[in-house]
Structure formats: structure tokens, C-alpha cells
């Protein structure tokens, strides 16, 4: 195959073309920065994880007001934030990724200290330290970034944070309508299999609205 015909290196997350100073990386700079922002959003006393524990009581945060006159007693805690805040949730998922990164690098198994909030802060700090390496070298960095993004959105929804992003219809070059959001990483057209990166997807023309 002619080298000139080889596909241009692309970000594994948004599938946009990599700039010259990003060549050899798994992810472009904006996607790497977005991943770092998601990590920072989880940690700290005012972070999303800390807010989960304050959203456990029925009627708190996005749970809405407690409804009186119900035939059944309300649950003592809200299950959605509980499942994210408990072991097996946010902290455990992040720790599993850190263990994987340490093993890939040949480092010692990370140690967890303190309660879950302290462990959350510790694992986020360590993941951020290793983030530049992972964005360049780790073969599953795109999977990590996407799973982290899902966790952040779940935490936001469970704590009354940001509403789900509004989807808009844009038109693929083949005429098919695609649904994207302002923070979409990329989208593939199911009709013609054309792959659009973040910026490319947002530059597509708006799809015409069908008459009711």
C-alpha cells in the first residue's frame, strides 16, 4: 500500500485528525484535557463524589421533594447515588483503572488509605499524574476516557447537577440525520459509515425539521 494512501493518525476518542505535535498519542489535546477535567470534577470536598454522599436522603438534591400521603414508606436512602458512592461504584472503578496502569508500567500495586472519600482523592490525584503517559501509551485510553465521562454524567444526574445535554439533528453528507450534542466526542453515520470527529460533527449543516 502506498504510504500516501495510509489513513491519517486520528484521536481514538473523538476520531479527529491529530496535529503534528500530537502524533504518537492515543488522544488529542482537547480530549486529554476533557478527561483531566472529569477527574478533577470528582475529587475534593466540593467534588461530585462528596456531593453523592449528601444526596442519599430521599428528597435531597435531584431527588425532588418528599411526597407525603404515599401508601408505602420511602426508602431510607436514594439508590442511584448510593450505588455510585458505595464500594463497587466510582472509587472502585477508578482504582481498577489505576491498578491496570500500574501493572502496565511495572509499578507496585497502589495502596488505598482512609475512607472512600480519601481514596477517591488519592486515586484521582494518581490518575492525573499518569494521564499524559496514558494518553500517549495506553492502548485502552479511549475506553477509560469514555467510562470516566459516563461516571461524571451519572454523578451529575444523581446530585442535581447538569441536565443531559440537548441533542440536535445534523445532516451527514449522505443525507442521513445524526443526533449530536455540543460535547459529543464523535459520531458515525449508520447509513454510510462515515466517521466524524468532534469539530467535524458540529460543522455539519442542521437537519431540516420534518413537518408535523
Q: Are 59 and 66 in contact (CB under 8 A)?
A: yes
Gap between the Cα atoms of 25 and 171, Å rounded: 30
H or E segment and range at residue 179 = strand 177-180
Strand partners, 196: 187
**CA atoms of 139 and 128, how far apart (whole Å):** 17
Q: Please, which pLDDT band fits residue 190 given cuts at 50, 70 and 90? A: confident
How far apart CA 77 and CA 103 sit, in angstroms, is 37
Q: What is the mean pLDDT of the segment spanning 177-181?
A: 85
Q: Which of 6-20, 89-103, 194-208 has the lowest mean pLDDT?
A: 6-20
Most confident of 16-30, 67-81, 112-126, 167-181: 112-126
Q: What percent of the chain has pLDDT over 70?
A: 75
Question: How many angstroms from the chain centroid is the CA of residue 137?
Answer: 19
The three cell numbers locating residue 188: 458515525
**Residue pair 168/179 in contact by the 8 Å Cβ criterion:** yes
- With a pLDDT cut of 90, the percent of the chain lying above it is 35
Position 3 scores a pLDDT of 44
Q: What is the pTM of this model?
A: 0.65
Evaluate whether 156 touches 48 at the Cβ level (below 8 Å): yes
Higher pLDDT, 196 or 76: 196
Amino acid at each position: 500500500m502506498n504510504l500516501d494512501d495510509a489513513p491519517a493518525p486520528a484521536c481514538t476518542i473523538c476520531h479527529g485528525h491529530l496535529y503534528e505535535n500530537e502524533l504518537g498519542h492515543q488522544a488529542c489535546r482537547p480530549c486529554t484535557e476533557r478527561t483531566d477535567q472529569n477527574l478533577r470534577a470528582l475529587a475534593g470536598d466540593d467534588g461530585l463524589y462528596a456531593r453523592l454522599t449528601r444526596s442519599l436522603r430521599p428528597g435531597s438534591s435531584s431527588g425532588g421533594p418528599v411526597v407525603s400521603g404515599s401508601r408505602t414508606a420511602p426508602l431510607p436512602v436514594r439508590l442511584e447515588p448510593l450505588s455510585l458512592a458505595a464500594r463497587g461504584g466510582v472509587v472502585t472503578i477508578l482504582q481498577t483503572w489505576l491498578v491496570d496502569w500500574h501493572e502496565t508500567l511495572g509499578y507496585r500495586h497502589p495502596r488505598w488509605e482512609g475512607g472512600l472519600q480519601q481514596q477517591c482523592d488519592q486515586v484521582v490525584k494518581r490518575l492525573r499524574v499518569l494521564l499524559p503517559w496514558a494518553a500517549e501509551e495506553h492502548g485502552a485510553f479511549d475506553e477509560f476516557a469514555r467510562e470516566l465521562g459516563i461516571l461524571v454524567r451519572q454523578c451529575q444526574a444523581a446530585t442535581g447537577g447538569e441536565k443531559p445535554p440537548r441533542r440536535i439533528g445534523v445532516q451527514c453528507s449522505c443525507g442521513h440525520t445524526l443526533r449530536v450534542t455540543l460535547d459529543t466526542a464523535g459520531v458515525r453515520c449508520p447509513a454510510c459509515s462515515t466517521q466524524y470527529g468532534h469539530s467535524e460533527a458540529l460543522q455539519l449543516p442542521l437537519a431540516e425539521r420534518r413537518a408535523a
